[in-house]
Structure 1
Amino acid sequence: MQGTTFAYQGNPLVRTEFTADPAPLVVDDTLYLYVGHDEAAGGQMFNITEWLAYSTKDMREWTAHGPIMKPTDFDWAARDAWASQVHEKDGRFWFYTAVEHDPAQGSTGKAIGVAVADNPLGPYRDAKGSALVRNEDTDGPHHWDDIDPTVWTEDDGQSWLIWGNGNCYFAPLADDMISFSGPIRTIDLPDFEEGPWVFRRDGLYYLIYASRDKAIDPDERISYATSSAITGPWTWRGEVTGSAANSFTIHPGVAQFRDEWYLFYHVGTLRIGDQAGGLGRRAVAIERLQFDVNGMIVPLEQTDEGILRP
């Protein structure tokens, strides 16, 4: 699989592996995409065993680079290659991700780790030697509230980490990128479930996330808020798109590449051999992201054609 080149044929993007929690990163003329490798069998809920990387220079031809890391590359982690984001700063690549903490290492539940590399494809190594955020560090509603990290760096060099499930947390990162320089606080977002992702366009900050209004739909959707500053206050702007086909979860990742904006997400529609898609066997999809004259995101339809549509 590693080094294999394939053409985008519509959604889902990858047809040979189950992929989840897409995280795009643009470096010069290349878009890199990092995903969790879904390998749940039968009725198993989740079994995400490693992180895979893909790249493209034109959104049409893609290269599969294989696994770049697995959870146990963190000596203090036990399993679960949950959602991640790679962030470039000062010529280095910082891999923020959620894993299950090894209880023998002094903590239980989900935790956020940081790895670092000198190029987008690694090799990545644990940058801290312990979790950046442990379950005990936040007053969350359950033991998996510290997941789904997203990172933003301001023009003045100050970086911020935003993450969470149930609660949306944020905190300023120190210059070393592996510790905090201020307290952990929360952002109040309507129906926030998980999967925050931050980007900026024309001076406006966007916080896009997986939302859930149980009175309307038991499945997650994608909503967003905007702000004039990364520290808020945030104004809720509505839904970007509805629930994913055949998947309770949906996870947004956004990138601008070659003058176009793209939304990456996952669905449960792919079948590989005798394994049908579903909650633990998801597949990444892509749509163009468009904005109105006021900078608001135009709600989009999830399609099989994806970015092949004119």
Structure 2
Amino acid sequence: MKKLLLAAALACGLVSAQAAMNPLFAPLYTADPAVLVDAGRVYLFTGRDEAQPGGKDFVMHEWRVFSTCDMATWKDEGVPIKARDFAWAKGRAWASDITKRNGKYYFYGTVEHATVPGFAIGVAVSDSPTGPFVDARGTALITNDMTKQTDIAWDDIDPAIFIDDDGQAYLYWGNTVLKYAKLKPNMTELDGPIMDVPVANFVEASYLHKHKGTYYLSYSQHFPEETAYMTGPSPTGPWTPQGVVMERNTKTPTIHQAFFDFNGKSYVAYHNAELPGGGEYRRSVAVEEFAYRADGTIPFIHQTQSGPKPNPSAGCKP
């Protein structure tokens, strides 16, 4: 009977922890990873793909969060926020990012606006990395009518939040055109104009991180997408292209990366569509470990089924 109950729980996704093997988080289809490392744990946020087999569009209503303290066993922390928790949003829980400041957790999510045509970026806040998150403004932070570089409805997507060592926060985002702006210390208002970053072949999925004094601006290029990056001496460049670090997927044309360090090692989260039944609108998040080269560049990172080796933090209790 116990074996039958366990099998049923696994089939329904009711078991809260699972050993890591790429792709992660089966049987859920997940996409667009964002990562926060906090107090000895990795919190990995994803969108959830709910399209039916053969679906022709993204069906995404909520974000999920999973955590680990050893990179081997992940705990399903549930749904910290849904697209419609932004009352001004029509729906569509697309890519997001997360950061911590002054004991508060700030979540930046892409949604479709209910009254301003096109996609928008909202910001929500919580006292916990696992939520619940609540709208921090009551209005969108970025709307499609604030950016005029293109006439497409989805050019304000994929927020990436970065706080530099001097406390200045930056928000990167965009599709077709890569944009950024400074944020005020309250993390809910722009602090200056919206700027462009000229990037050849840029599509989406901008992400900014820092390693040993160098800034890395990664993104998806071409379509189907592959992951490329640039390096610079500051969060605003000037940028030096460094090439491709992850190849395009075979079952979905998108790929979306988040680089992070944890317990002395370096990792990248991304999505493919390698779970059974996967496809363009039924994607799956995975994680790989890598090591920077001696000159600070990122090597080409191969996708694996095994994923990273265990790396427990002090006092780890999966």
Q: Percent identity?
A: 40
| SS of structure 1 residue aligned to 2:84 | helix
1:279 aligns with 2:284: no
Instruction: Please name the residue that 1:15 is paired with.
Output: 26
- 1:189 Cα deviation from its structure 2 partner: 1.5
Q: d(CA) in 1 for partners of 2:174 and 2:215? A: 19
Instruction: Please name the residue that 1:195 is paired with.
Output: 205
- 1:232 Cα deviation from its structure 2 partner: 1.1
| SS of structure 2 residue aligned to 1:306 | coil
- Matching residue within 178, 181, 188 for 1:178: 188
1:57 aligns with 2:66: no
Amino acid at match of 1:68: P
| SS of structure 2 residue aligned to 1:21 | strand
Any gaps of 5 or more consecutive residues in structure 1? 213-217
TM-score by length of 1: 0.93
Q: d(CA) in 1 for partners of 2:139 and 2:203? A: 26
Instruction: Please name the residue that 2:96 is paired with.
Output: 84
1:145 aligns with 2:155: yes
Instruction: Please name the residue that 1:230 is paired with.
Output: 235
- 1:75 Cα deviation from its structure 2 partner: 0.6
- 1:290 Cα deviation from its structure 2 partner: 2.0
Q: Deviations over 1:244-268 (max 9, x none)?
A: 2311100001110011111110011
**Relative to structure 1, is the Cα distance of residues 70 and 2 closer, same or farther in structure 2, using a 3 angstrom cutoff?**
farther
| SS of structure 1 residue aligned to 2:271 | strand
- 1:108 Cα deviation from its structure 2 partner: 1.0
- 1:140 Cα deviation from its structure 2 partner: 3.4
Instruction: Please name the residue that 1:68 is paired with.
Output: 80
TM-score by length of 2: 0.91
- 1:175 Cα deviation from its structure 2 partner: 1.7
- 1:3 Cα deviation from its structure 2 partner: 6.8
Q: Deviations over 1:127-180 (max 9, x none)?
A: 000000000000132110000001111222111100011010000001221111
Instruction: Please name the residue that 1:27 is paired with.
Output: 38
1:267 aligns with 2:272: yes
Amino acid at match of 2:70: D
Amino acid at match of 1:46: F
Any gaps of 5 or more consecutive residues in structure 2? 1-12, 311-318
RMSD of aligned alpha carbons:
1.4
**Kept in 2: contact 1:241–1:300 (CA 8 A):** yes
Instruction: Please name the residue that 1:126 is paired with.
Output: 135
**Relative to structure 1, is the Cα distance of residues 29 and 2 closer, same or farther in structure 2, using a 3 angstrom cutoff?**
farther
Q: Deviations over 1:70-105 (max 9, x none)?
A: 1110010011100001111111100001000002xx
Instruction: Please name the residue that 1:215 is paired with.
Output: none
Q: Deviations over 1:165-209 (max 9, x none)?
A: 101000000122111110000111221110011110110000111
Amino acid at match of 1:198: L
- 1:48 Cα deviation from its structure 2 partner: 1.0
Q: d(CA) in 1 for partners of 2:206 and 2:304? A: 22
Amino acid at match of 1:249: T
Q: d(CA) in 2 for partners of 1:67 and 1:291? A: 33
Q: d(CA) in 1 for partners of 2:82 and 2:301? A: 33
**Kept in 1: contact 2:22–2:287 (CA 8 A):** yes
Q: d(CA) in 2 for partners of 1:140 and 1:21? A: 24
Instruction: Please name the residue that 1:112 is paired with.
Output: 121
| SS of structure 1 residue aligned to 2:111 | strand
- 1:2 Cα deviation from its structure 2 partner: 6.4
Residue correspondences, number: 297
